[in-house]
């Protein structure tokens, strides 16, 4: 049986033009756009997938947001890792349920959410307290507060060391990941995977050089190109616009010894 929408839940409202609104349902409240308003009470108690009309007769479809929807709409401190890259990182870093993962920096918590959703136990190092707080709020808003058992944040500079051992994975999104490579080598068990997201190829090259100097093998750097297609009747072609660049994903595995 489908679960009905409850007060306190997040919903995504989409309109005919593809506009998307993230709303937390509350009894007695109204959602307003330039195209009219809808009472939250009209949504509470119904199932997702319903279509409702605003006071000005605009149609809105109601969904529970996916992780991707949420990441693209949530409040941000730092720039987030985009869903296409988070998805690839989960596979390239082989994140599994119960994996012990060190993540740094934590930023807005977008990548944390993918790691937690994949079942990992995440220790996050973030140098900015305001970002760590924002990340924690975002993560709890989407995944619920039970996730705190698997999500531990510390205000620390990851380039100064990692206070953990027997890690399965180290996942980095910070400007100078090469400074973390020796600490990752000390904390990962043999076969463990280091994955780093870097907007610039120069950063990726510097990271690869740092890996050359240590107990690492199977190093690889990729970028993920994601091209949407427009499919409508006879018009079947790639979309005119695409996000041309986000970042590179570099991975390497720790050798024994
Ligand atoms: N992956 C995050 C975004 C990270 S942005 C997301 O998807 O939301 C990069 C973050 O790294 C910033 O929050 C910055 O404060 C943090 N950072 C930079 N250098 C750091 C360091 N040496 N140790 C820990 N965090 C660092």
26 lines ligand 1 (CB under 6 A): no
In the predicted model, what is the mean pLDDT of residues 113-120? 98
Domain boundary among 30, 46, 65: 65
In the predicted model, what is the mean pLDDT of residues 82-91? 98
Q: Return d(Cα 111, Cα 90) in angstroms, integer.
A: 9
Number of domains present in the structure of the chain: 2
Q: Return d(Cα 83, Cα 114) in angstroms, integer.
A: 9
pLDDT per residue as tens digits for the range 154-174: 999 999 999 999 999 999 999
| Residue 165, helix vs strand vs coil | coil
Tokens at residue 184, please?
């990752």
- Whether residue 245 sits in one domain with residue 223: yes
Protein residue with least CA distance to atom 19, ligand 1: 174
Residue (of 57, 81, 73) closest to 10 by Cα position: 73
Are 86 and 43 contacting, i.e. CB atoms less than 8 angstroms apart?
no
Protein residue with least CA distance to atom 11, ligand 1: 105
Q: Tell me: pLDDT of 138 over 80.
A: yes
pLDDT per residue as tens digits for the range 231-243: 999 999 999 999 9
Q: Which residues form the domain of 146? A: 69-254
- Whether residue 137 sits in one domain with residue 54: no
- Residue 51 belongs to domain with CATH number: 3.10.330.20
In the predicted model, what is the mean pLDDT of residues 210-228? 97
- Whether residue 212 sits in one domain with residue 145: yes
Q: What is the pLDDT of residue 75?
A: 86
Q: Is residue 1 part of a domain?
A: no
- Whether residue 58 sits in one domain with residue 183: no
111 lines ligand 1 (CB under 6 A): yes
Q: Return d(Cα 118, Cα 103) in angstroms, integer.
A: 14
Mean pLDDT of the chain: 96
Q: Return d(Cα 170, Cα 124) in angstroms, integer.
A: 10
DSSP class of 5: P
Q: Out of 110, 126, 181, give the residue to mutate to test ligand 1, the one with the largest number of ligand atoms within 8 Å of its CB.
A: 126
**Cα 3 to ligand 1 centre (Å):** 37
Q: Tell me: pLDDT of 90 over 60.
A: yes
In this prediction the pTM is: 0.95
- Whether residue 248 sits in one domain with residue 165: yes
Q: What is the pLDDT of residue 1?
A: 57
Give the residues across from 232 on adjacent strands: 235
Q: Is residue 197 part of a domain?
A: yes
- Residue 108 belongs to domain with CATH number: 3.40.50.150
- Whether residue 154 sits in one domain with residue 142: yes
- Whether residue 79 sits in one domain with residue 198: yes
Protein residue with least CA distance to atom 3, ligand 1: 107
- Whether residue 39 sits in one domain with residue 99: no
Q: Is residue 5 part of a domain?
A: no
Q: Return d(Cα 62, Cα 60) in angstroms, integer.
A: 6
CA 122, 120, 116, 246 torsion: positive or negative? positive
- Whether residue 116 sits in one domain with residue 24: no
- Whether residue 119 sits in one domain with residue 14: no
Q: Out of 74, 106, 123, 156, give the residue to mutate to test ligand 1, the one with the largest number of ligand atoms within 8 Å of its CB.
A: 106
81 lines ligand 1 (CB under 6 A): yes
Q: Is residue 135 part of a domain?
A: yes
């Amino acid at each position: 049986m489908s679960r009905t929408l409850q007060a306190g839940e997040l919903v995504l409202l989409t309109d005919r033009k593809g506009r998307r609104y993230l709303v937390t349902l509350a009894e007695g409240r109204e959602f307003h756009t330039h195209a009219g308003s809808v009472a939250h009470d009209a949504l509470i108690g119904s199932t997702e997938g319903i279509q409702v009309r605003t006071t000005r007769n605009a149609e809105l479809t109601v969904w529970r947001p996916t992780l991707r929807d949420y990441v693209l709409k949530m409040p941000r401190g730092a720039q987030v890792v985009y869903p296409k890259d988070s998805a690839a990182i989960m596979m390239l870093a082989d994140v599994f349920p119960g994996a012990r993962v060190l993540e740094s920096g934590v930023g807005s918590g977008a990548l944390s959410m993918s790691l937690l959703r994949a079942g990992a136990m995440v220790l996050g190092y973030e140098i900015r307290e305001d970002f760590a707080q924002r990340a924690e709020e975002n993560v709890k808003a989407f995944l619920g507060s039970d996730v705190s058992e698997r999500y531990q944040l510390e205000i620390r500079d990851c380039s100064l060391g990692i206070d953990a051992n027997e890690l399965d994975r180290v996942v980095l999104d910070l400007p100078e990941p090469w400074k973390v490579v020796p600490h990752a080598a000390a904390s990962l068990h043999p076969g463990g995977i280091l994955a780093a997201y870097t907007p610039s190829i120069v950063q990726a090259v510097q990271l690869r050089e740092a890996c050359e100097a240590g107990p690492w093998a199977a190093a690889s750097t990729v970028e993920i190109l994601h091209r949407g297609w427009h499919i409508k009747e006879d018009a079947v072609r790639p979309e005119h616009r695409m996000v041309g660049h986000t970042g590179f994903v570099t991975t390497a595995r720790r050798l024994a010894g």
